[in-house]
Amino acid sequence: MNTIKKNTKPTLLSGIQPSGNLALGNYIGAMRNWVSLQKDYNGIFIVVDMHAITVKQEPAQLRKRCLSFAAQYLAAGIDPQENIIFMQSHVPQHAELAWVLNCYTYLGELNRMTQFKDKSKRHNDNINAGLYTYPALMAADILLYQTDLVPVGADQKQHLELTRDLAMRFNNAFSPTFKVPEPFIPKEGARIMSLQEPEKKMSKSDSNENNYIALLDPPDVLVRKIKRAVTDSGREITPDSMKNPGTGNLLTLFAVLSELTPKQTIQRFEGKQYSELKDELADALIAFLEPFQKRYDKILSEKDYLTNILEEGAEKAQYIARKTLSKVYRKIGFVAPGRS
Ligand code: AQP
């Protein structure tokens, strides 16, 4: 007799918005941990295209980037046999649950969100309602799948706290409906800084391309960007270099790529010139990104392969999402279709 083995693994979910070139900050803060955690979790990895349109996007570019992001998830090592990978807009329940959660989110909570404040400054010609209610859509992304763990960089901590508050608020107002998710924020590399303006975080949508390393940057561009990266005015690495925003950022990048602790990294470079750190960092980046880019090219060369993964992913995601959403609709008092 065939017995269905119950899958008891907890659920891990994360997504990145295709709002620019996928950057090293995104990889170190989030994707790296998707890869290392996937064997112990049921992974759900989303290209959150609906979040991307909270800032202006050029449609043809966005379409290309969405597929490119999915291919980069795979190239980074996400196993499509074991995980669910899909486009957010292919699963309509995200927008539906987001609407419900919007009605349980207070303006005061949204007003406190630092990402909204930052992005309103950066995009002051387009401060739209979607940008403001972004955290409710993010909460829907997570809560639809009864998620246990969400690997994110430090910048998303506040949104995740709101997600937890919304889950608890809803559970208390009705009855237990949503799992309350935990963030997974890495100890090292939770906030990778911009290369030229190291007081701010590295962002994939930065208008200055020299501020970030794109995962698809070719070797000559990688070398150039690292050479131009801002350090402090000293010349040699000292134990205090870690505290300097620019030099410390380069040391952190090296540490993460070489799987060293910050202490081991300082020991390795102490007394050496900044230029040596930059040369070694550029080499480490090329060694890491070249095989990644080869895998990416191969995945994109088999177009149906990617489309099939995304189609299957959306189907599996919808199956789970529908269950949660119908529970939510019932609890808040909506009449189920076909009933009077
Ligand atoms: N600099 C960073 N260091 C560490 N982690 C980071 N993340 C982003 N920047 C850094 C993490 O990457 C994931 C991407 O999330 P997102 O695309 O939804 O939005 P974001 O946080 O706003 O990322 P960006 O790169 O700054 O995008 P844009 O430029 O579009 O705003 C998240 O897990 C994030 O924590």
Q: pLDDT tens across 50-81, in order?
A: 999 999 999 999 999 999 999 999 999 999 99
Distance 331 CA to ligand 1 centre (A): 34
- The phi-psi region of residue 259 (left if phi > 0; otherwise alpha if psi is between -120 and 50; otherwise beta) is left
**What residue owns the CA closest to ligand 1's atom 35?**
153
Which atom of ligand 1 is the closest one to the Cα of 52? Answer: 30
* 234 CA → ligand 1 middle, Å: 30
The burial class, CB within 10 Å (0-12 / 13-18 / 19+), for 210 is middle
Judge whether 69 and 216 are in contact, CB under 8 Å: no
Question: What pLDDT sits at residue 6?
Answer: 57
Q: Which pLDDT score, from 0 to 100, does residue 86 have?
A: 98
In angstroms, what is the span from residue 113 Cα to ligand 1's centroid? Answer: 15
220 and 297 in contact (C-beta within 8 Å)?
A: no
Q: Please, are residues 170 and 104 in contact by the beta-carbon 8 Å criterion?
A: yes
CATH number of 209-296: 1.10.240.10
Ligand 1 centroid, distance to 241 Cα (angstroms): 25
Catalytic residue among 39, 64, 117, 119: 119
Ranges of residues in the chain whose predicted pLDDT is under 50 = 1-5
Supply the pLDDT for residue 246. Answer: 96
pLDDT, position 234: 86
Ligand 1 atom with the smallest distance to the CA of 205 is 29
CA 9 to centroid of ligand 1, rounded, Å: 27
> Separation of 204 CA from ligand 1 center, angstroms?
7
Q: Whose CA is nearest to atom 8 of ligand 1?
A: 26
Q: Which atom of ligand 1 is nearest to the CA of 14?
A: 33
Ligand 1 binding site (Cβ under 6 Å of any ligand atom)? 16-17, 19-20, 23, 25-26, 28-30, 51, 152-153, 155-156, 190-192, 201-205
Please state which CATH number belongs to domain 11-185+303-332: 3.40.50.620
Q: Return the SS3 of 10.
A: coil
pLDDT value of residue 4: 44
Do the strands 42-47 and 11-16 form a parallel or antiparallel pair, or are they unpaired? parallel
Positions of CATH 1.10.240.10 in the chain: 209-296
Query: How far is the C-alpha of 47 from the C-alpha of 142, rounded, in Å?
Result: 13
- Residue of the CA atom closest to atom 2 of ligand 1: 25
Catalytic residue (choose from 204, 227, 294, 303): 204
Q: Where are the alpha helices (H) located in 229-302, listed in sequence order?
A: 245-258, 262-269, 274-301
Q: Are 97 and 324 in contact (CB under 8 A)?
A: yes
Distance (Å) from CA 203 to ligand 1 centroid:
6
Helix or strand run (H / E) with residue 84: strand 84-87
Catalytic residue status for 316: no
Residue intervals of the chain classified under CATH 3.40.50.620 are 11-185+303-332
Contact 167, 161 (CB under 8 A): no
Other beta carbons less than 10 A from residue 303's beta carbon? 11
What distance separates the 2 farthest-apart alpha carbons in the chain?
Answer: 78
The model's pLDDT over 142-186, given as tens digits with 9 standing for 90+, comes to 999 999 999 999 999 999 999 999 999 999 999 999 999 999 999
Tell me the Ramachandran region of residue 151: left when phi exceeds 0, alpha when psi lies from -120 to 50, beta otherwise. Answer: beta
Atom number in ligand 1 closest to CA 30? 33
Protein residue whose Cα sits closest to atom 26 of ligand 1: 203
CB of 11 closer than 8 Å to CB of 52: no
Cα separation of 317 and 90, whole Å?
A: 9
- Best residue among 13, 16, 65, 208 to mutate for probing ligand 1's pocket (most ligand atoms within 8 Å of CB) is 16
Q: Which residues contact 277 (CB under 8 A, 6 or more apart)?
A: 237, 247, 250, 251, 254, 269
d(CA 191, CA 261): 16
Catalytic-residue membership of 5: no
Active site residue 200: no
The letter for the amino acid at 71 is: A
User: CA 100, CA 279: separation in Å to the nearest integer?
Assistant: 52
